[in-house]
Amino acid sequence: MNYNKLGNTDLNVSTICLGTMTWGEQNSQGEGFQQMDYALDQGVNFWDTAEIYSIPMREETYGETERIIGNWFQKSGKRDKVIIATKVCGNTSNKYIRGGGYNFGKKKITQALDKSLSRLKTDYIDLYQLHWPERNTNFFGMHGYEHDENDNNWTPFEEILESVEKFIKQGKIRYVGLSNETAWGLSKFLELSKLKNLPKMMSVQNPYNLLNRTYEVGLAEISVREKSGLLAYSPLAFGYLTGKYRNNNFPEKSRMKLKIFKDFTRYKNENGQKAVDEYYNISKKYNIDLTQMSIKFCEIQPFVTSVIIGATTMEQLKTNIESVNVTLTTDIINEINEVQKKYPNPCP
């Protein structure tokens, strides 16, 4: 396994992070336990979850993934071997989450954190992330930008950082990070931290994969210069970058075949499929596995701290973790970049 420093903390996180959002929906607790045992054995010491998981979000499964991880901590006694990241959700219309609405105000963020700690059966969370912004802005693949002057009821960033400072002093969390954030959001938080001597955002968890390299514009530079690296999620573009959906094939039990994911269309467009075909041809030409090529490409970026993988079977998990052993030659990277030029960010 390879390791990187998380932001400018003293934590060495594995460059492969174990994603967990299928546990409690597509995967049982027993399967989650197997994944955690195996991943830790392979040196994967960094795990990512969220209060809202399992995905897709449902009232019945809210908090279920954290519960599974908490049960594993209790059973294994290995809490101290893991760097655990979880998230508090942003603005939501789901009434079952603290009545809906904004969640980063002092009262609600405290409630959210205390519940996560209790489900995870731990005294502290290593990295507490704001899952998505409260304000209206572009994330989750939104296009265009319409500014709403009246959208100003969201929690001021300074107030959020003050809550975070309190949580750190209380020992409930060690560090804080962002997710689904924009360049404006990240830089504003960083500026405030410096100005007011408040905790710093140590990471940004955004999508990044061969079909969506938009992070490279704007955010990548901030990540490197300010030591607030990317935790790249959906490195396989929901599985499209394994090649298994090529030629309109939708294998049984795969995410895109499942009815529960029918509204997730981000990676399902013509140019995306053409780009996948070209990446597939590169992998065949150089005799490497397309899945591993796709994950490795994310891992080697200078602005990436860790790549958050997701797997529904042990076989997938093994393939994905073993991507750390793959080498991408300059020729392979050049050919990958040619495809990006031909089909720039087909699934942003």
Ligand X SMILES: NC(=O)c1ccc[n+]([C@@H]2O[C@H](COP(=O)([O-])OP(=O)(O)OC[C@H]3O[C@@H](n4cnc5c(N)ncnc54)[C@H](OP(=O)(O)O)[C@@H]3O)[C@@H](O)[C@H]2O)c1
Residue ranges in contact with ligand X by CB under 6 A:
19-22, 26, 48, 131, 179-180, 205, 233-239, 242, 244, 254-255, 291, 308-312, 316, 319-320
Nearer to ligand X, 79 or 244 (CB): 244
CB of 119 to ligand X, least distance (A): 15
Instruction: Let me know if 215 is a catalytic residue.
Output: no
CB of 87 to ligand X, least distance (A): 7
Enter the tokens of residue 63: 């908090």
Burial (0-12, 13-18, 19+ Cβ within 10 Å), 181 = buried
CB of 49 to ligand X, least distance (A): 6
CB of 3 to ligand X, least distance (A): 19
Does a cis peptide bond (omega within 30 degrees of 0) precede residue 56? Answer: yes
Catalytic residue among 53, 175, 215, 279: 53
Is 93 in a helix, a strand, or coil?
coil
Nearer to ligand X, 21 or 164 (CB): 21
Enter the tokens of residue 170: 């209380």
Nearer to ligand X, 4 or 162 (CB): 4
Contact 327, 292 (CB under 8 A): no
Using CA atoms, how far residue 246 sits from 74, 242, 258, 269, 280, in Å, is 42, 9, 17, 12, 9
Nearer to ligand X, 131 or 213 (CB): 131
The answer for residues whose C-beta is within 8 angstroms of residue 117's C-beta and 6 or more apart is: 123, 124, 125, 172
For 203, other C-beta atoms within 10 Å of its C-beta total: 26
Nearer to ligand X, 219 or 311 (CB): 311
CA distance 261 to 253: 11
CB of 181 to ligand X, least distance (A): 10
Residues known to be catalytic: 53
